[in-house]
Structure 1
Amino acid sequence: MTAQPTDDVAVALRGVRFSYGNGATWALDGVDLTVRAGERVCIVGPNGSGKSTLSRIVAGLAAPDAGTVTVLGERVFDGDAGPDPDAYRRARRGIGAVFQNPEDQLVTTVVEDDVAFGPENLGIAHDDIGRRIAEALQAVDMTESRAADPTVMSGGQQQRIAIAGTMAMHPAMVVFDEPTAMLDGAARAEVMAVLDSLQARGVTIVHITHHADETLRADRVIRMESGRIVSEGRPRRDDAARAASADQPHPPADGGDEPQPDSEPIIAVEHVFFTYPGQTSPVIDDLSLNIARGETVALMGHNGAGKTTLARLLCALERPDDGSITVAGVPVALARGNRSDTVRERRSGAAGTGHVRKPRMASRTQRRALRQHVGYVMQHPERQLFADTVAQDVAYGPRNQGLPEAAVREHVEWALQLLRIGHLADRSPFALSGGQQRLAAIAGVLAC
């Protein structure tokens, strides 16, 4: 039987404390929280404030170290008795969870199979599962993609599939931990429309977000700092507008110094094409650009526009189908043949006949030289973190480049202080918040 809220209370936390370091520091420190059934609550706060940890407690994915937790009428944790496994199992049947990266929640290569995964694990009758799949896909406007492969969809579509899989379980409550963090504006709007639909159905929503505008439809906004709830109240449009403005980049007061282009650009991309295996249309289509030394460039575009692909090409992590790429004087890729003839062949479709030879890639020695100039921070920092502590992780790059230990320590200290995470040096990178993990990953690149 699926757990349901009792007395109109979906979640009740009292004196909850949680530590990733055996009490050395507290990710949650004396949190009291009540969420009413059908309420839409947004939880905001800076990186490391405890938002994601709180979401895991509420979703029944982690037990605290102290306090009491009641979810959907089940006392799942009592400070004296500890966790109640049976109560957790009952409560989880009524809870859905959606996280930042939709790829991590996809379990099959067919949309309808992915949506069916949750209900099947709940032991729902086969005929009922079919109806739930249809209803959930219709609710997220993905009915026509029922037989499609979700692994090749855009981020917004993948997140809608993940939400559909949660909806198919008919949860009483859904916890969203920054579900739009990896999405562009259009995809964010798609996901927020689904949250509106869930709210209209009476589903309890706990939504962790960094986007101020996403709080406007909430019934209540809770702000966290240093593991504690510091304020709560109704969303206010003027607060959201100020926060949104603060998030926008502002030029220096003096206008800043314009980079002076050298005779040779630091990055040169000439007539580059790239198509992923199994696809017919290129994601990079005859792209040319130059970037000057010292210049700061923002790559913008919708999901699937080719931004990440271009970044990987610049780092020699992908091989272009055609064109030339030079980074810091290193020939990452060098086109073969006459440039105008090759572009004409690409445009006429001759590329698919094998008439166009792929560019010559950098040698091993050239790649080693490239690593001295280029660092790469991926979208998902947890995939770059592997050491026992943040300091050890940051030290890996400079140590791998053969720097003496004294220089390694100097580089690590400099990078940690630059990113203002020196206090996290001895912490496990896997016990950090998503924002702190990003800073640790960037520090590891800068330390090189």
Structure 2
Amino acid sequence: MSSVETLLPEEIERIRNDFPLLERRIGDHQLIYLDSGATAQRPISVLDAVQEFDEMRNAAVHRGAHTLAGEATELFEEARHKVASFVGADDDEIAWTKNATEALNAVAYGFVNATAGRGGEAAQRFVLRPGDEIVVTEMEHHANLVPWQEVAAHTGATLRYIPLSDNGALDMDAAEGLIGEHTRVLAFTHVSNVLGTINQVGRLVELAQAAGAYTVLDACQSAPHLPLDLHALGVDFAAFSGHKMLGPTGVGALYGRSELLNALPPFITGGSMITTVTMEHTDFMPAPTRFEAGTQMVAQAVGFGAAADYLSHIGLDRIAAHEHALGQRLAEGVSQIPGVRLLGPAAGVDRAGMVSVDVDGVHAHDVGQFLDDRGIAVRVGHHCAQPVHRRYGVTASTRASVYLYTTEAEVDAFLNGLSDVRGFFGADR
């Protein structure tokens, strides 16, 4: 990251002016928003794009011949092109979903439906049988774990997982032993939403391809923060969401290699995703439309496209360099606070711009409330990743996550607040 030009302080101030919510005060304090890992704030350009659509273009897409329907459809598909280009995909490889969780379920239940005989000959490649194995990791968000548990239960396949090392990284020696001739699916996160670990995507894809397994990437914590080229990564499927990358809630994206998306049986069916319907049989549209049943989230997709434009204009490489520096500042600062344990890679190790911590003697929810009283917004709980916390002997943690609009002063305010927590609750005695 050091060779990439980072964002300058004056640029960050200009960026912050694009985000109206950052002007808020919480009680007597200026808001310090350190929960972008859960939901990022939205710039004026995204807010305006959604409002302009709602006010002047609102119509159903792909369903009418009138002017408004044509304009809405054009904007809808233009947004798909923007988001596809943003992640290094072709337009027909991006299907809109309502969030990344739905995108991951679309892949998972595509395997279930194929196993049940749906999808014809093209879907036979996705059939799972007893003796087949699905491999996930111990660091997965529940959205990339629970669906695969369900797939195993439906198909008789066995679910296995790559364990975590004490340092917050995947045990790659174990991975090499787990991924083999029986592996049909390898589902893993690019960046841990708890630990900040950046996984070795290239090596994992290499292992899966050698085994003839499909790869499913959770890119929710990478698409907003790292330059992403899904074609170059070589993954078969991926999922990410709008609300984590400056876009609206209610919209996500499923990526799949074109050949695979066209063979995968859809799991949400109804109007708009069909070619022919009789009382006995239905034929589905090609991808990506086959995964877009019913009335779509058009305004949200338009906002998602505007968010991709905004991030592209600034440059993901520069954003990543900025967040890398802040991530190291966070990790180094936390490591110097007595009674506070950093989960995940130590300071000095490459990590995402977030930290999750366990404060000795103080529950994470109390830590979060203490910081909120100072205007500092962080995430508390298990972050939809209970197995990760169980692995490191905690039930909950406090997570601070940064983005392009976060300043060094805000990171320092968090560290100062965190250093006062144990004293306030009398846990340092």
Asked if Structure 1 and Structure 2 have the same fold, meaning a TM-score greater than 0.5 normalized by the shorter chain, the answer is no
Q: Which has the higher Rg, Structure 1 or Structure 2? A: 1
Which structure exhibits the higher relative contact order, with contacts defined as CA atoms closer than 8 Å and separated by 6 or more residues? 2
TM-score where L is the length of structure 2: 0.32
TM-score where L is the length of structure 1: 0.31
Return the structure number with greater strand share. Answer: 1
